Structure 1
Amino acid sequence: MKKNQLGKSSLFISELGLGGMSLGTDWKKATAIVDEAIDLGVNYIDTADLYDFGENESIIGQAIQGKRDQLIIGTKAGNRFEKGKDGWEWDPSKAHIKQAVKESLARLNLDYIDLYQLHGGTIDDPIDETIAAFEELKKEGSIREYGISSIRPNVIKEYVERSSIVSVMMQYSLLDRRPEEYFSYLQENGISVITRGSLAKGILSDRTLKSVDAAKDGYLSYSTKELAQLKDILMQNYASAHSMNGLAFNYCLSHKPVASVISGASSIEQIRQNVQAVKNESLTEKEVDNLARIAKQDSYSQHRV
């Protein structure tokens, strides 16, 4: 599978990354999915300390034993929680991040994390303190690079201007094109985009709309009727050459700043389908332009200043 450079770093990650959140807590099943993904060429696995309150990191840590040299591992921090207690609270302080990385390293059974990401963020955070924590972790060797996971334009701008992030993880899909407004800006600053939600909660998958809960009340600015109309157009014009997954993933990957699309998998068959879609269903420039013409181009209305 093709690998793309993450920002200006020495990290090269597969165009499809495996998102840990969908693996569940059946250790045997999750390990089998991780093994299959690696065998199929996926080298980037993305998790977070918050997923299943740390258990997801532990599962991945076990699943990757003996394969560390093949992989780029990303996780996230910023949500303070106590295992066994409901809920969590936002804490981007240096003290919390430096403690959280120790706990993630222990659960993952790693000496270092390749990509450590701030799991959210607001403009009211102590941003300089947060950046200082990540920079210190780099110098100490606990992490190789760091990034943020955020869709807030004002937060992204602050980190681009004040830190050495290599990536921004953003919700991005054919149904949510808001991030495109910032692609040129990120590319000019040598920062990659890692996408999540590229199947729009299953709306852009091969499943029927009736079987997707997220489609029942519309999606973002799309009404239920508009979703049905768009899905019909996609099926009529592209189904002979592409799967819906292929259209969704490769539309995202056709944009230069996008290094990888992250997708979860709850079965071996699902990871096989996702890999097949990314590896064998690339889009032509004309197809990408046509898709952009039939999908809405919305922009962020909040968190701009």
Structure 2
Amino acid sequence: MKQNKLGTSDLLVSEIGLGCMSIEPGNETEGKEMIQRAYEEGVTLFDTADLYQFGWNEEFVGKSVKPFRDKIVLSTKVGNRWTEDKKSWDWDPSKTYIKSAVKDSLQRLQTDYIDLYQLHGGTIEDNMDETISAFDELKKEGLIREYGISSIRPNVISYYAEHSNIVSVMMQYSILDRRPEEEMLDFLYDKNISVIARGPVAKGWLSERALQRNESDQYLDYQGKEIQVLVQNLHSELGSERSLSQTAIRYALHHPAVASAIPGASSVKQLLSNIGASASEKLSSEQVAAVRSLSKPNVYEQHRR
């Protein structure tokens, strides 16, 4: 599988990674097989977060990747802390919390270092300089190799891009969520900051399953019926040389700022279908234009600069 450099770092990530959030307790056997098969198929980016399943996901991923830990990029996230009753979580981007939370993540992941440590959100009201200082210190201490942010807020992304040493921004990006195209992708590419595209299949809406879903459901500013029509039009316009989900993943990868797309998967079959997008042809400029003509050029309306 094609490997791409992450920003200005020495980290190489597979163009298709594995978002591990969808691996749930009770599905450990298939989850472990998914992680093993992903590695065998060339996936080198495995993403989790301390928030997922109250830390269980980090524990599971850490245990599952242990046999090939030094051959992959292990990424996790910080900033959200569960309340005592575990019914909700609070936002805490303080240096004190980040430098404490990283130790818990390292223990759960059964590793001495985290390849990519990401801020799991962020608001313009945060003391971002303090947060940046925390990540810089962790890097100097050797506890993390690089850091980035996971955000869809233009004002937050812009601040970190201008004032920190982030190597990546994880953001939602798909045919149904083209907001990054308006102002983020070219901006980050010029800054030599890579994008990790999450949600490229839009919670399954960009797959053949879309036609069996409820017409009244909604995804961002799309109604279910609209998406079903879009799916049919994409089939008619682009043909069937690849599955719709593979087309969706290839679309998320078409911009040079995007180093990796990380679809989630709940089964080995789904995982292998996603990974198959890497072996399929890149979308031509004509195909990209066709996708854009059929879908909405939605834009970020909140969290402006």
TM-score bin (small chain): over 0.9
Amino acid paired to 2:65: I
Question: Are positions 1:248 and 2:248 aligned together?
Answer: yes
Per-residue CA shift, 1:26-53, capped at 9, x if unaligned? 3322111100110111010000000001
Counterparts of 2:29 and 2:248, CA distance in 1: 30
Aligned length: 303
Q: Could you tell me whether the CA contact under 8 Å between 2:210 and 2:228 is conserved in 1? A: no
| Change in 2 beyond 3 A, CA 1:283/1:164 | same
**Could you tell me whether the CA contact under 8 Å between 2:18 and 2:43 is conserved in 1?**
yes
- Aligned residues of 2:78 and 2:117 also touching (Cα < 8 A): yes
Question: CA 1:123–1:254 in 2, change beyond 3 Å: closer, same or farther?
Answer: same
Tell me which moved more, 233-242 or 40-49: 233-242
CA shift at 1:282, angstroms? Answer: 2.3
**Structure 2 partner of 1:193:** 195
- Kindly indicate whether the alpha-carbon contact (under 8 Å) linking 1:246 and 1:282 is maintained by their aligned counterparts in 2: no
How far is 1:70 from its partner?
A: 1.5
How far is the alpha carbon of 1:145 from its aligned partner?
Answer: 0.4
CA deviation map 1:81-107 (0-9, x unaligned): 267732211000001000111000000
Could you say what secondary structure the match of 1:66 adopts? Answer: helix
User: Structure 2: how far apart are the matches of 1:208 and 1:134?
Assistant: 40
Match of 1:115 in 2: 116
Name the counterpart of 2:169. Answer: 168
| Residue identity matched to 1:194 | I
Percent identical across equivalent pairs? Answer: 52
Write the letter of the residue equivalent to 1:90. Answer: W
On the 8 A contact 1:246/1:281 being kept in 2, the answer is: no
Distance of 1:102 and 1:291 partners within structure 2:
44
The 1:121/1:268 distance shift into structure 2, 3 A limit, reads: same
CA distance in 2 between counterparts of 1:51 and 1:191 reads 26
Unmatched segments (≥5 aa) in structure 1:
none
Which amino acid in 2 is paired with 1:195? A
Which is further off, 136-145 or 225-234?
225-234
Classify 1:172/1:157 alpha carbon distance in 2 versus 1 (closer, same or farther; 3 Å).
same
Task: Tell me which amino acid in the other structure corresponds to 2:235.
Answer: M
How far did 1:218 drift?
Answer: 2.8
Unaligned runs of 5+ residues in structure 2 are none
Q: Give the Å deviation of 1:68.
A: 1.1
Give RMSD over aligned pairs.
Answer: 1.4
1:203-222 mapped onto 2 (5 Å cutoff): 203-211=205-213, 216-222=216-222
| TM-score using structure 2 length | 0.96
Deviations 1:196-216 (A, max 9, x none): 1111111101213333x6x63
Q: Which moved more, 1:289-298 or 1:161-170?
A: 289-298
Deviation at 1:238, TM superposition (A): 2.4
User: What's the CA shift string for 1:96-140, capped at 9, x where partnerless?
Assistant: 000111000000001100000000000001101100000000000
TM-score, length of structure 1 as denominator length: 0.96
What are the superposed Cα offsets for residues 262-293 of structure 1, whole Å, 9 maximum, x if unpaired? 11111111111111123224212211121112
